[in-house]
Amino acid sequence: MIARGLARLSLAAPALWLALSLPARGDAGSAEPLLTPRVRNQLSAIDTLPSLNVLSDQSALRNAAPSLSSIASDSGNDVGVRIRAARAMVGYCNANTDPDDNCASLTSQIHVALLEIITSYQSNPSPTPRDLVLMRAAVESLGAARAVLPDDVATLLRLLDHPSRDVRATAVRALATSCAQDAIDRVRALQRTEPTAQVRGELNLAAQAITDNCTTPPITPSKGN
């Protein structure tokens, strides 16, 4: 099932399979394929996010965060794989807790990759449901990064008007997780107007989290299976 499309392609069009397996943008220095069978399996886990330790051990993912960023951005990859890559990459560096130079650089790359996924969705005139779930994964990751950049908050605030309540709920949760203080007025305003109970609940939690010294813990990928 996962990467079922990839498997079929590998039989029908070896050249395309090779292209999909080659490093994507930003990884020109390495000749190793990113989506080895093992990496693909780990980015297809049913009930866990891939372990950071495990992914870091992969020879193909020695630079795990940029590699995951490439996998998530590559529209030729299976959507399920891309979702997990988008969600896992943010766990590699948290600018709030690991404020070293390398980490800051990685964080910047991750932000760029995640914002690209989100803006790509927003500029798509006819996005599909699978585009939507990938975008939601990027939104969730952006919040989990907990390194709030002005662009992040602006992007998340725009999503509060999205017609899908699932997108709105994810955006609100991301604002809360990332302790986006600049968003508090908008969150409070929406508490009075949001039509669905699900999102209102998220708004209430977000208002509390943002004003309550941002005690919401960061969401990080699980350690193992």
Contact residues toward other proteins (CB under 8 A) are: 1-4, 7, 37-38, 40-42, 44-51, 53-54, 57, 78-80, 83-84, 86-88, 128-130, 132-133, 136-137, 140-141, 144, 164-166, 169-170, 173, 196-198, 200-202, 205, 219, 221, 223-225
State the minimum distance, in angstroms, from the CB of residue 29 to other proteins: 25
| Closer to other proteins by Cβ: residue 84 or 148 | 84
State the minimum distance, in angstroms, from the CB of residue 40 to other proteins: 8
| Closer to other proteins by Cβ: residue 27 or 78 | 78
State the minimum distance, in angstroms, from the CB of residue 181 to other proteins: 21
For residues 101-134, one letter each, b for 16 or more C-beta atoms within 10 angstroms of the residue's C-beta and e for the rest, the string is eebeebbebbbebbbebbebbeeeeeeeeebbbb
Residue 222 amino acid letter: S
State the minimum distance, in angstroms, from the CB of residue 95 to other proteins: 19
The CA distance from 140 to 55, in Å, is 20
Q: Are 191 and 204 in contact (CB under 8 A)?
A: yes
| Closer to other proteins by Cβ: residue 133 or 149 | 133
Residue 41 amino acid letter: N
State the minimum distance, in angstroms, from the CB of residue 117 to other proteins: 11
| Closer to other proteins by Cβ: residue 105 or 131 | 131
Q: Are 157 and 186 in contact (CB under 8 A)?
A: yes
Helix H or strand E encompassing 12: helix 4-12
The CA distance from 223 to 210, in Å, is 27
User: Which structure tokens are listed for 106?
Assistant: 């990685």
The CA distance from 106 to 64, in Å, is 10
The CA distance from 17 to 189, in Å, is 49
| Closer to other proteins by Cβ: residue 40 or 105 | 40
